[in-house]
Amino acid sequence: MGLEMNAPDEYWLPSLNAVRVPDGVDDGEVIDYLLEAYDLEIASGLGDLEGDIWRIGCMGFSANPKNVSLLVTALGDALARQGVDVDVGAAVEATARELDQ
């Protein structure tokens, strides 16, 4: 979808994804929408990163391809509602390719 991770690759944690909030997007609106519309919970950044990143966990029971695809689809929907040009289909395909590896 063109989103950026906050941490460089060498510091990335597979179980916690810190994703940069695109310019012009209200991170709180996205968080609220995902919870209300999809029953998905992600969190804002902490401290200096509040409003700049989303913290998206993927661990335990929820760490499965179906839930990751749901998150990608739901996040794409939430961003599109705020006017961000996203290609959700391409993101879901890329997710499927990565999960099949």
pLDDT per residue of the chain (101 residues) written in tens, 0 to 9: 889 999 998 988 878 899 999 999 999 999 999 999 999 999 999 999 999 999 999 888 878 888 888 999 999 999 999 999 998 888 889 888 887 76
Integer CA distances (angstroms), 70 to 38, 66, 89, 95, in order: 9, 6, 12, 10
Tracing tokens 């310019």 back to the chain, one arrives at: 23
Sheet holding 43-44, edge to edge: 16-20, 53-57, 43-44
Could you give the CA distance from residue 44 to residue 56 in angstroms, rounded to a whole number? 9
Top CATH class of 9-100 equals: alpha beta
Q: What is the pTM of this model?
A: 0.88
Q: Amino acid identity of 15?
A: S
